[in-house]
Amino acid sequence: MSSAPESLDTSISALQSTEEDRKVQAIGELIRDARNLSAEDIERIAKYQREHKMRFGEAAIALGLANAEDVLFALSQQFQYAYADEGRRKADPELVALTQPFGHQAEAFRAIRSQILMRTHADDQAQRRALAVVSPDSGDGKTYFCANLAVALSQLGGKVLVVDADMRGARLHQVFGVDNSRGLSTLLSGRGGKNMIKPVPDVPNLFVMPVGVQPPNPLELVEGPAFGLLLRELNTKFDHVLIDTPAAVFGSDGVVIAARCGAALVVARKNSSKVAALQDLVASLQAGQSRLAGVVMNEF
């Protein structure tokens, strides 16, 4: 009987060693490909790692054969965690959850993600709701917040769709770098068409429906039955659906969209948003029977 725990410990140790070898090999291959390292370079790193009892990536950095960005990218690939390359980081500086996934801003989005999931997905699949992101005024950071929350949700592995319903000042197509010639306004105006939903480059599981051509009657389009039917269909196809909306200062579009979604998250800006405007918006959302997921204060 006394040999059983020892045997079990030996098996666990062997499995851990095998897993560690597998990780080292995978990271080594990724860093090798990123830096064009030779087999001799890899062996040199591995030897340094063993001698100094450190991680493979740390050893590569210590020897000057890789930098911190190379290691972070390798880790993100190994654990299937979306992380932008240098070119994408320069092109999309607003997507901090993608371009700086290990920074404090991205960590804040992950914390908010957890809170939102607890507050809006307790009902499970039967009562799944889209989430409207609303704000009192332009410049509050609503689109920035919506885009980064979408990235953070996609990093959990589920299919995420972010819809640009801001038909008064659309920006999501610019943030994600997708074509905006056709989109939500095209569908709601009855013109139909294909390829309205576009995958976000280099971000698995994340999709965008841009706004399309800016219409002259945005409020009428979201008040019509087609928008409600579209939301119900999207909720069956995606694990998470986020809707970017016009700021309340431009009209009641955001409140109407939130009522159709069934849930809303308010974004305000520190030292900018007026308390009265924020209170009026929250009251309007509650009057429309939207579940309020919370109010987020944007400090950036």
**Average pLDDT in the 60-79 region?**
73
Instruction: Return the residue matching tokens 């965690």.
Output: 81
239 in the same domain as 109 = yes
Pair 68, 149 in one domain: no
Asked if residue 47 and residue 111 are part of one domain, the reply reads: no
Assigned domain for 85 exists:
no
Between the CA atoms of 246, 247, 249 and 252, what dihedral angle is there, to the nearest 10 degrees? 50
pLDDT greater at residue 287 or residue 58: 287
- Decide which of 68 and 239 is more confident: 239
User: 62 with 188, same domain?
Assistant: no
Within a domain: residue 87?
no
Structure tokens at 250: 């431009």
Asked if residue 159 lies in contact with residue 205, where contact means CB atoms within 8 angstroms, the answer is: yes
pLDDT tens string 260-290: 999 999 999 988 899 999 999 999 998 988 8
Instruction: Output DSSP code: residue 215.
Output: P
Q: Which of 192, 203, 198 is nearest to 84 (CA)?
A: 203
Residues 47 and 186 in one domain: no
Chosen domain end from 26, 46, 79: 79
190 versus 300: which is more confidently predicted?
A: 190
Note whether 186 and 277 are same-domain residues.
yes
The pTM is what? 0.73
Rounded CA gap, 113 and 51, in Å? 41
Whichever domain contains 127, its CATH number is: 3.40.50.300
The count of residues in the chain is 300
Q: Please give the residue that has the higher pLDDT: either 278 or 69.
A: 278
pLDDT in tens, 114-167: 988 887 665 545 467 899 999 999 999 999 999 999 999 998 888 999 999 999
Inside any domain, residue 14: yes
The two beta strands, 206-209 and 160-164, are: parallel
Residue 75 has a CB neighbour count (10 Å cut-off) of 19
| H-helix or E-strand spanning residue 127 | none
Q: Among 33, 50, 79, identify where a domain stops.
A: 79
Q: Is the per-residue pLDDT at 13 higher than 70? A: no
Domain count, the chain: 2
